[in-house]
Amino acid sequence: MKVYINTDIEGIAGWVFYASNSNLSVNLKHLERMNRLLTNEVNAAVRACRECGADEIYVNDNHGCAYNILFEELDPNCRIIHGRSGYFPSWLPLLDESFDAAIGIGMHAMAGTPGAVCPHSCWHVTLGNGSELKLSECTMFAALAGEKGVPLVTVSGDDKIAAEVGEKIPDCETAVVKYGLAAQNACSLIPARACELITEKVYAGLEKRHSIEPFKLPGPFKLNVSDRDPAVKALEQDMSGNDLWRLMHDACRCFGNKWGDQSIDDHSWRYPDSVFQ
């Protein structure tokens, strides 16, 4: 079995704040601490994948600078995809039809979700049948995996992202590691318990992977995206086409050098200055 684990950080147990550059030493400690908590949650998911018989496990470090997970502390039975990309597909490298299941760890709710912890990003998608849908980063991940016939089987994060996933992909298992009270306020499980829950839910999701339909949306699509405010669309005009992967990649250019094309990257090979984003 081959499994793709996509990760973010805002949805891990213990996260309620971004670091900022205003006090470097304090914020570095925060950053290191959050990265370790994320790494532990990923290891909890990898453990379940192994117990369920996965022999190929790919972990995609997909928050900010895409270099957060302490990979030297990861279970050596997985592989890590990390660092900046500027090529197609920039967001989910290596995810293709050969995978049996997709998993989201540390996922957060879309922009504008009341009570969610650090909600941001909102994909506005018009489907081929004319209906309109709003997707978080997590359910966009599910839709892109769905295009490849890969089902999203388990998601961990706060209760708000779990609610969106439950609505769109009812069979997907959700590990609610914290309850969002406000944008920077949560009632969280203690990390050790969160990890146990993740292991449990990843195992359950993988076990029933054959009965979970891939989240495949009907095209052709029109696509736009919001960052923090769902009422403000980042693209002047919707993008349209049949290939959701291509549309997503092109739309991401509006977010600058993390997701954009090589041509607008900074052409350097340094560790990015923007680790605090």
The footprint of Zn ion (CB under 5 A) covers 8, 63
Task: Identify which of residues 215 and 259 has a Cβ nearer to Zn ion in the complex.
Answer: 259
User: Considering the complex, what minimum distance in angstroms separates the CB of residue 186 from Zn ion?
Assistant: 15
Closest chain position to Zn ion (CB): 63
Distance CA 82, CA 100 (A): 21
CA proximity to 157, closest of 167, 149, 165, 147: 165
User: Considering the complex, what minimum distance in angstroms separates the CB of residue 65 from Zn ion?
Assistant: 10
Task: Identify which of residues 87 and 255 has a Cβ nearer to Zn ion in the complex.
Answer: 255
List 103's β-bridge partners, or say none.
5, 154
Q: Are 156 and 172 in contact (CB under 8 A)?
A: no
Task: Identify which of residues 54 and 194 has a Cβ nearer to Zn ion in the complex.
Answer: 194
Q: Are 69 and 39 in contact (CB under 8 A)?
A: yes
User: Considering the complex, what minimum distance in angstroms separates the CB of residue 261 from Zn ion?
Assistant: 21
Task: Identify which of residues 8 and 41 has a Cβ nearer to Zn ion in the complex.
Answer: 8
User: Considering the complex, what minimum distance in angstroms separates the CB of residue 9 from Zn ion?
Assistant: 5
Task: Identify which of residues 160 and 209 has a Cβ nearer to Zn ion in the complex.
Answer: 160
User: Considering the complex, what minimum distance in angstroms separates the CB of residue 206 from Zn ion?
Assistant: 24
Distance CA 149, CA 143 (A): 9
Extended beta strands in the chain, E state? 2-7, 56-61, 79-81, 101-107, 122-126, 132-135, 152-158, 173-182, 185-188, 221-226, 239-241
List 2's β-bridge partners, or say none.
56
